[in-house]
Amino acid sequence: MRVIQFREALREAMSEEMRQDKSIFLMGEEVAAYNGAYKVSQGMLDEFGEERVIDTPIAELGFAGIGVGAAMNGLRPIIEFMTFNFSLVAIDQIINSAAKMNAMSGGQYTVPMVFRGPTGNAGQLAAQHSQNFENWFANTAGLKVVVPSNPYDAKGLLKTSIRDNDPVIFMESELMYGDKGEVPEEEYSLPIGEAKIVKQGKDITLVSFGKMMKVATQASAELDKEGISAEVIDLRSVRPIDYPAIIDSVKKTNRLVVVEEAWPLAAISAEIAYYIQRHAFDYLDAPVYRINSMDVPLAYAPTLIEATLPNVARTIEAAKAALYI
């Protein structure tokens, strides 16, 4: 199977869907003439023209609102934020318009659109450009929130997101656009809300999503060297969450560690910990452990970044604590 970059997988998903459906268009800062801030949309302006690949001013509230209005009137916009940190400027349109319009109109309006772009830290970008918003948007009824971890999932999930009749928040990572992985040339899509068992195990379950899957898989590999068999689950979406997949794994391993980049308060990991302890308590032989970023704004200094973010060592420590080692 061919190997392509994460950014190429996203580009293929958008381009393939746009060729099949002329109601789909891409709008955002630098998506057209500059080929995308991260070159995700490279070449798309040449193929689809300026009516369907649209550069915008630095005005997230404005172009997000245009996208919502377009979706309500029969189009299927893809709105790209240069970073989800900038989505805060547009959050009223996302939360109070896109997410609620179907319910508020009694089903008369659907809002089939995708808001996509990078989330989380991307190296030395400091506090205002390094935040995680997956849990923010997952808190909102009416939205679906997808966070892929590899090129294969990125393409399959983005195609499904574009076809969905509900608004989808599609969250990527600047640090993953160059990642490579196997992606088939033939048509495929992946369902939203179905987790993937990345690695089978019997001693402990590690759950994560997005780029933190790298931490979970590396921790699992290190645990294997010590004779500890960790099962690794990639959620792929955090609204909806595939709780049955986690419960089935916990029934087998009896222990759970959740790795997430966001701050600990009201995080996805907190929700999972509550749910599993509520619905699978009798299968747990230890408390659910959570690995999150430290509860501080992310600094600029590399040493402080390293001390703040989840890492393999902290994940291994939590796994051993759950195993009473």
Indicate which residues carry an active-site annotation. Answer: 60, 129
Which parts of the chain fold into alpha helices (H)?
6-20, 44-48, 60-72, 91-92, 101-104, 134-138, 151-163, 213-225, 243-253, 268-279, 302-308, 312-322
Report the C-alpha gap between 305 and 299 in whole angstroms.
6
- What span, in angstroms and rounded, lies between the C-alpha atoms of 97 and 90? 10
How far is 185 from 201, CA to CA, in rounded Å? 31
Cβ-Cβ contacts under 8 Å for 241 (sequence gap 6 or more): 193, 195, 235, 268, 271, 272, 275
CA neighbor of 297 nearest in space, from 116, 125, 130, 84: 130
Residues 210, 119 contacting (CB under 8 angstroms): yes
Under a CB-based contact definition with an 8 Å cutoff, are residues 114 and 148 in contact?
Answer: no
Angle, CA 138 vertex, CA 137 and CA 143 arms, to 5°:
75
Q: Are 134 and 212 in contact (CB under 8 A)?
A: no
CA 221 to each of CA 24, 120, 135, 230, 313: distance values in angstroms, whole numbers, following the listed order: 42, 24, 28, 8, 12
Query: For residue 65, how far is the Cα from the chain centroid?
Result: 22
